[in-house]
Amino acid sequence: MKEANQGFGTIAIHAGNAKDKSYGALTAPICQSSTFVFDDCAQGGRRFAGAEGGFIYTRLGNPTTAMLETKLAALEGAEAAAVTSSGMGAISAVFWTVCRAGVHVIADSTLYGCTYALLSHGLTRFGVEVSFVDTADIAQVKAALRDNTVAIYLETPANPTLKITDIRQVCDVAHNFNKNIRVICDNTFATPYLQTPLALGCDIVVHSATKYINGHGDVVAGAALGANDFISELKLFGIKDMTGSVISPHDAYLVLRGLKTLEIRMDRHCANAKIIARYLSENPKVTKVYFPGLETHPGHAIAQRQMKDFGGMISFEVKGGKEAGINLLDNLDLCTLAVSLGDAETLIEHPASMTHSTYTAAELKKAGVPEGLVRISVGLENPQDIIADLERGFSRI
């Protein structure tokens, strides 16, 4: 849990840190070991039996990854965390832990493309039924609930339309129907600095730690957070037995490094995004801007209530549709044409042909994702330089 009276930045830097007793290193050493030595057979047996704490094998736990888990749990207000080798590793491990043949899952229709593929094409192979609804419309959530519903899964802000779902409302409806339903929220776009879904009633939070949490474009990682009992089951079944999605100690170390600046990076991402969103909303070559910080966004009021700020992600449509949007992307210099998000660099992409290519045209339409949509992850550059590059791009189409 968060330390009393300490700010987010302080917790991000100090929570969970273990002193280096050997040399007094300020930065925690990387424990690059696959296995750990027991004092004797009896100790090894006790650890395997769960009667004694301590490390056994890095697939089951490691001092460096444990430090990252403690820090993330403190920031999200969770009892425990499990870090994984990717965001999809975390999401897959959660669903393997929650689901079994014959159960039902409700998921938002607007999701990251690989998450959508897991739910629509993956879990359904194993006897799990999935209903896709608009979780921002609580009537649709209520109508989809069944006696065998075990989970509701959503993103807010959603990828790539920045749709906002009222987290508390969904949690109240789910838990009033059945207190055992797990509400799972992907908090990647917001990070725990801007939004804490567990405090709003969610049971499980997942992240692609590749994105803002690491923030430097040099790590692929994920995390799942929640109650102690669930995270223990997730580690011993969802990760150990089912996915094997184990983060390396070196990658955990890099994410620990990135977390030290999460607060100040997010402040800059948010400030830049507001400037860029305003520019795009006033640009005659842009027909629509998707950004929860704009009062015209349908989820603006909810975002104000459940988020500290509006994040660094924007999507928009260019006058002329898909062809014009793609021409814009091909005529930028500073804004980098690449998928992923949350890096220091401004990244821009075309969801329909890239991150959301797992959707069919009909599925994109149902999810509210126009085929010409452009998604931009606003970076840490000076905002006037980002705007100047966009201006050059617009002038070339």
Set out the domains of the chain in order of their start, with CATH numbers: 8-259 (3.40.640.10), 262-395 (3.90.1150.10)
Q: What is the dihedral of CA 324, 329, 330, 336, to 10 degrees?
A: 180
Q: Which stretches of 80-221 are assigned E, i.e. beta strand? A: 80-84, 104-108, 129-133, 149-155, 182-186, 204-208
Catalytic-role residue among 108, 134, 166, 186: 186
φ/ψ region of 382 (left if φ > 0, alpha if ψ in -120 to 50, else beta) reads beta
pLDDT tens per residue across span 210-241: 999 999 999 999 999 999 999 999 999 999 99
| Residue 19 confidence (pLDDT) | 83
Catalytic-role residue among 2, 46, 57, 59: 59
Rounded-to-integer distance, Cα 156 and Cα 168, Å = 12
Per-residue pLDDT, averaged over 176-203, amounts to 98
**DSSP label at 236?**
I
**For the packed helices 63-76 and 249-259, what is the interaxial angle rounded to 10 degrees?**
40
Does residue 23 have an active-site annotation? no
Strand 149-155 with 104-108, pairing? parallel
Per-residue pLDDT, averaged over 34-42, amounts to 97
Does residue 59 have an active-site annotation? yes
Does residue 112 have an active-site annotation? yes
Catalytic-role residue among 112, 153, 193, 253: 112
Q: Is 2's pLDDT higher than 60?
A: no
The confidence band for 4, taking pLDDT boundaries of 50, 70 and 90, is low
Polymer length in residues for the chain: 397
| Residue 21 confidence (pLDDT) | 83
144 CB-contact burial (10 Å; exposed 0-12 / middle 13-18 / buried 19+) = middle
pLDDT tens per residue across span 101-145: 999 999 999 999 999 999 999 999 999 999 999 999 999 999 999
155 CB-contact burial (10 Å; exposed 0-12 / middle 13-18 / buried 19+) = buried
The confidence band for 23, taking pLDDT boundaries of 50, 70 and 90, is confident
Rounded to two decimals, the pTM is 0.95
Could you tell me the two tokens for 177?
Answer: 């129907």
Considering only residues 22 and 303, tell me which one the structure prediction assigns the higher pLDDT.
303
Q: Which of 361, 157, 137 is nearest to 277 (CA)?
A: 157
Rounded-to-integer distance, Cα 119 and Cα 308, Å = 30
| Residue 397 confidence (pLDDT) | 86
Would you call 70 helix, strand, or coil by DSSP?
Answer: helix
Question: Among residues of the chain, what percentage have pLDDT more than 70?
Answer: 99
3-state helix, strand, coil in the chain (%, to 5): 40, 15, 45
pLDDT tens per residue across span 51-87: 999 999 999 999 999 999 999 999 999 999 999 999 9
Does residue 235 have an active-site annotation? no
Q: Is 261's pLDDT higher than 50?
A: yes
Catalytic-role residue among 71, 163, 182, 211: 211
The confidence band for 28, taking pLDDT boundaries of 50, 70 and 90, is confident
Average pLDDT, the chain: 96
DSSP per-residue codes, 259-324: HTTHHHHHHHHHHHHHHHHHHHHT-TTEEEEE-TTSTTSTTHHHHHHH-SS--SEEEEEETTHHHH
Question: Among residues of the chain, what percentage have pLDDT more than 90?
Answer: 95
Rounded-to-integer distance, Cα 292 and Cα 197, Å = 17
| Residue 1 confidence (pLDDT) | 44
Could you tell me the two tokens for 132?
Answer: 């896709």
| Residue 193 confidence (pLDDT) | 98
Would you call 226 helix, strand, or coil by DSSP?
Answer: strand
| Residue 256 confidence (pLDDT) | 97
Look-up of token digits 């608009």 = 134
